[in-house]
Structure 1
């Protein structure tokens, strides 16, 4: 951590140039003898990455930004707020894999104390400095391996363990839960010795069922999406819990939050009602799809499903509470007829349970991207290919 970056003149320069290209700044000679052009560019790049992802950091004077990899890997404030709701007031928390501390800082707003473990001494120093700027005074930064710190702690030393295992090991990506660092599968007994509840943030690409077969005492799984992009999976384990796991799909969009919860027993026990397209079309958010709520979501909102494998839903009545995009159907056209006469030269194209990909459909049918109309190419209940033309309502 180069503390010269915090000098008043340097901070003024960074603020005055933060809208400029970091590459442009890096190629110019630095106006400061104590701060290089690369360091100035790194701080400007950090601010630009934080504007939408970490607005509290971006619009607080004097924040020191770490390497861009740390910013890429950290949580957003939107998802950190979800984690904050999982912590009881006054709890004692340890973050085994601290990183840039976004989650730690939000957990600290509810906890009495958060221990932030981070092997990278430079990053730990940055976090400790920023925490003071943000007035997070109950965050204790420790330069250590989180597992080692936990092993040396007394039993039941913490109320919560938070862990975000790294998917980058030895400069390569890993995909199995057991290959991440730390190995949360191997350390489960240790975790439950030291805390009653474990919150693990896992990769959105992870198969939920596979993880559930490896982790014990999982009370909740949170599937969190932001603007229809699945960002995180949170596995909440509680010592001694043996009941059914509740799946919570959390949809964050336009500063709003929708949630939908169910169990896999609910999903297995649901029989879908199938229907031809009616007046409205419903496209579930990625959080719903990732969670595996393919049948229960339709039943819960009284919708008909277009096809067993299409995962599109329909109704005659408008259901504004549906967790996903909602469209008003203009017309339904058999695909064979559509190929002969395309009445939509420009549209937003999507496919569900359809043999051709979007790019191929655009090329074959000469459809330009964009505009007010949407086209869903899918399969109906009679296994016929159709094109559904519609306008988005929300």
Structure 2
């Protein structure tokens, strides 16, 4: 990909500048491709935050702003790459003479070291997910309909020394019709309508996954689909299975306590039992662990045997839908007391809604069915979320409030199952933002409002 020297020099000189101000300034460099240079400067600044290993590589070329904002971060891309490696390896071991050509029992560090494994990313985009997944496969094909993105990704594959990957400029649907069967197909369908507005429902994505499912399942051993974190995932699982797909795993992936994506892992029913033995990544190392003592539903593949992994910055909480359906929350029957420990689940747990599993496994109690706040008499260092020590609890009686908040001039305020939003409550309590105290306003199981004063 040719870039003239004047443009390269401009990018290097202004890499740390404010891009909007740089765009408005007068420049006496007629040989500089200014729109391209601004994209590179803005892209590099974003990469420092999202793709730190790429930001260190001077030969990476970045796309326009929207593609940079929509692309995966390095953290989530690495997570998907490890999940793909483990699950494809599991399928290979289960089917040593499978149609993907695997030899079975491949226990090498990367699937790419095993012969004949193959990946097809049919919605390549900027290629972040593809670049992190490709080294795990012996063959990898990137498919993208935009020729400019194809050129950019080919440049970046060369810059990152990924020489075994093929770039194909084509529509996903047309390439799917003619491609050979592969070990894994990856899809990150567009979630914007023709006017650029965001879409959430699976049937509104492009390409249309539901319509293409029969062909997709015929062309791969594993189908990985990344969808919006705003999606109603229970409905999506039901829709996929109604169309003949078996959703063996769902990964709810968060970074810095913000839910980033839903990753659906779809296999045929012949392989689903083996796939269910692969839980998503263990904390820190991202190595899936076997699902112990599978239930009859998990062994036979009924609708609630999908295995769920809630992942957030190295913390992984795993369960099956069958377990969750059979495990209600334990509700606190007495008012919360100072001295108790308060727990707020992370973003992935909140999205999953597996609150009964938290109660069952960790011994916590929910303040109310819809509070999404939990208490226990002892600290739980491994709780998947934030932990606090309650220093005071109070009703909203003026005298009680004044006593509980004595000496507190500022606090971090959150509301759960409470009629006021945090800013309105802050104004009512006349407190500044910040400080060492955390205030949680909530409603207990008897309908009484409480203010919980805590420290982290």
Of 182, 195, 202, 2:227 maps to 202
State how far apart, in whole Å, the 1-side matches of 2:140 and 2:3 are.
29
State how far apart, in whole Å, the 2-side matches of 1:336 and 1:267 are.
38
Q: How much is the aligned-residue C-alpha RMSD, in angstroms?
A: 1.7
TM-score where L is the length of structure 1: 0.93
Q: Which position in structure 1 is the counterpart of 2:185?
A: 161
Q: Give 1:31 deviation, angstroms.
A: 5.0
How do 1:339-350 and structure 2 match up within 5 A?
339=401, 342-343=405-406, 344-350=408-414
1:107 matched to 2:133? The reply is yes
Greater alpha carbon shift after TM alignment, 237-246 vs 316-325: 237-246
Q: Tell me, what secondary structure is at the counterpart of 2:446?
A: coil
How do 1:1-394 and structure 2 match up within 5 A?
3-5=2-4, 7=5, 10-30=7-27, 32-85=29-82, 86-87=84-85, 88=89, 89-90=111-112, 91-154=117-180, 157-171=181-195, 172-215=197-240, 216-240=245-269, 241=272, 242-243=301-302, 244-252=305-313, 257-275=314-332, 276-277=335-336, 279-337=340-398, 338-339=400-401, 342-343=405-406, 344-392=408-456
The answer as to whether partners of 1:28 and 1:37 remain within 8 angstroms in 2 is no
State how far apart, in whole Å, the 2-side matches of 1:309 and 1:226 are.
24
State how far apart, in whole Å, the 2-side matches of 1:112 and 1:30 are.
47
Q: Give 1:30 deviation, angstroms.
A: 4.0
1:41-72 alpha-carbon deviations (Å, 9 max, x no partner): 22111111111101111111121111111111
Q: Give 1:340 deviation, angstroms.
A: 5.5
Aligned residues: 383
State how far apart, in whole Å, the 2-side matches of 1:100 and 1:125 are.
10
Q: Give 1:339 deviation, angstroms.
A: 5.0
State how far apart, in whole Å, the 2-side matches of 1:179 and 1:266 are.
31
Q: Which position in structure 1 is the counterpart of 2:277?
A: none
The answer as to whether partners of 2:7 and 2:31 remain within 8 angstroms in 1 is no
State how far apart, in whole Å, the 2-side matches of 1:35 and 1:66 are.
17
1:76-111 alpha-carbon deviations (Å, 9 max, x no partner): 110011111122403200001000111001111211
Q: Give 1:286 deviation, angstroms.
A: 1.0
Greater alpha carbon shift after TM alignment, 81-90 vs 108-117: 81-90
State how far apart, in whole Å, the 2-side matches of 1:145 and 1:177 are.
19
Q: Give the gaps of 5 or more residues in structure 2.
A: 90-110, 273-300
Q: Give 1:130 deviation, angstroms.
A: 0.9
The answer as to whether partners of 1:30 and 1:36 remain within 8 angstroms in 2 is no
Greater alpha carbon shift after TM alignment, 53-62 vs 25-34: 25-34
1:131-173 alpha-carbon deviations (Å, 9 max, x no partner): 111111122111111221110123xx20000000101131233
State how far apart, in whole Å, the 2-side matches of 1:46 and 1:210 are.
36
Q: Give 1:4 deviation, angstroms.
A: 2.1
TM-score where L is the length of structure 2: 0.81
Q: Give the gaps of 5 or more residues in structure 1.
A: none
Q: Tell me, what secondary structure is at the counterpart of 1:114?
A: strand
State how far apart, in whole Å, the 2-side matches of 1:132 and 1:35 are.
24
The answer as to whether partners of 2:7 and 2:34 remain within 8 angstroms in 1 is no
Q: Tell me, what secondary structure is at the counterpart of 1:15?
A: helix
